[in-house]
A and B are shown apart, each in its own frame.
Chain A
Amino acid sequence: MSKEAGNPNIASLNDLLAVAYQIEIDAVERYNLLADQMEAHNDPELAKVFRDLARAEGIHGAEIRRLAGDFDVAAHAQRIAKFERSESPEEADIGAAHYLMTPWHALQLSLAGEKRALSYFTSIVETAKDPKVKAMAAELVEEEAEHVNLVHRLLRRYPEPSESWAEDMDPPNPQE
């Protein structure tokens, strides 16, 4: 059994798969929400970055579902996947978004989420008693570590913006 304070109780392989699945689905929803925001603010380039991130997380979720076979991970996740951080580990922080943010910032949000997921699964490897849970958690750690590396590689395409990136002499005026 592995349980961080306030995090889901991982007592079996099915628990772990359900929680891992929910983490990916939460990330998909969050990236799509951010993509919607960017479309509403007429930033199609950034919207595409968030849609691509959502698509990637969706693929990971589908892979976990495949690993679970006939077991209904989605239904089980609804019962057990509640996290201490108020939101699940890989969800991007919508409070960190900004209408002038760039793809570099979007990838920084993604990187932070991947690192939180890596840390979460690492804690399961360290505390799990069930060898099957430990082995699967170790696989998920490898996956997340690869995602961290991937985001670092993607970041090479986008230069870090100047410190004044958020300055705007005429901020937006949402219309009724």
Chain B
Amino acid sequence: MSTVETHLACKPADYKSDVVPIWCPGCGDYHVLLSFTRAFAQLGVPPEQIVVVSGIGCSSRIPAYTNCYGFHGVHGRSLALAAGLKVTRPELTVVVASGDGDGYSIGGNHFLHACRRNIDMTYVVMDNHIYGMTKGQPSPTTEPEFDTALSPGGTRVRPFHPLVVALASGANFIARCFSGQPNETAAVLVEAIKHPGFSFVEILSPCVTFRPDEKGWKDLVHPAPVAATTDPGKAARRIITDDGFNLGILYRGSREPFQPAVGATGVDLSELEKDFEL
């Protein structure tokens, strides 16, 4: 969103709706909502020029809790919806919210191609390593040994590595945040939204109900020891070898965003219709 002007004096409260969230008390997504509203206020983009698009899951409830335009879409399809919106209304700021189930499993293929296509929007995945809304099934990022009644003995399946996949697929900005640090997360979201092209922000957001062990994340997270790189090779080495708790902006690419000229296809629709005449 390279055309943002930051002159308007909006407060975080201006971006909150009157809808009371029903997330479990202690859920990291409350902090993510705070980060969204703080980031939007820092950007100074009025709520009516922001669209928050989501799929299905606890995290995907977030559009209702903001005062921006919102689209609570179908499971895993938030990126497809958002891409269509952004190419036809490029003047809008488009932020997509998802979770690790919605975004990496059901919507996994959309994730790859959204990175590849590099449309100017920001994809925020609230990753709690579990399907929380449907009572705790393993997600693509669940640890292989995580043992529950729904996955006795653990899945024993290698977890998905979203940041590596995003980089390999062409995302133009990659960051990791922790929900318990809302100001730091807001600052990263501001940078992600301002960066041209497809920005991917993974937010570690604990599920206190089905993953109480994730309360310990606050002691494991740490700032990335080096500044973001613009070199995808260096970024790959850093991301693939980090411990999963390395926070901050990890990669800033310089690929040109994909933005077709709206209404300038040169196709005469009446001519096209003739091809379909019976």
Q: Interface-forming stretch among B88-96, B103-111, B208-216, B238-246? A: B208-216
CA separation between A99 and B206, bound complex, in Å? 14
Min distance, Cβ A49 to any Cβ of chain B, angstroms: 13
Contact B218–A171 (Cβ < 8 Å): no
- Does any Cβ of A come within 8 Å of B21's Cβ? yes
Contact A36–B183 (Cβ < 8 Å): no
CA separation between A166 and B210, bound complex, in Å? 11
Given A37-B25, A174-B23, A95–B180 Cβ distance below 8 Å?
A: yes
Chain A residues within an 8 Å CB radius of B212: 166
Min distance, Cβ A2 to any Cβ of chain B, angstroms: 21
CA separation between A99 and B179, bound complex, in Å? 18
B residues 179-206 with Cβ under 8 Å of A?
179-184, 206
- Does any Cβ of A come within 8 Å of B56's Cβ? yes
Query: How many chain-B residues does the 8 Å CB contact rule pick out?
Result: 31
Chain A residues within an 8 Å CB radius of B61: 174
Query: How many chain-A residues does the 8 Å CB contact rule pick out?
Result: 25
Contact B208–A98 (Cβ < 8 Å): yes
Contact A96–B133 (Cβ < 8 Å): no
- Does any Cβ of A come within 8 Å of B24's Cβ? yes
B residues 104-122 with Cβ under 8 Å of A?
none
Contact B179–A171 (Cβ < 8 Å): no
- Does any Cβ of A come within 8 Å of B7's Cβ? no
Contact A97–B25 (Cβ < 8 Å): yes
Chain B residues within an 8 Å CB radius of A40: 20-22
Contact A173–B218 (Cβ < 8 Å): no
CA separation between A99 and B210, bound complex, in Å? 12
Contact B181–A174 (Cβ < 8 Å): no
Contact B30–A33 (Cβ < 8 Å): yes
Given A87-B182, A171-B136, A173-B135, A95–B20 Cβ distance below 8 Å?
A: no
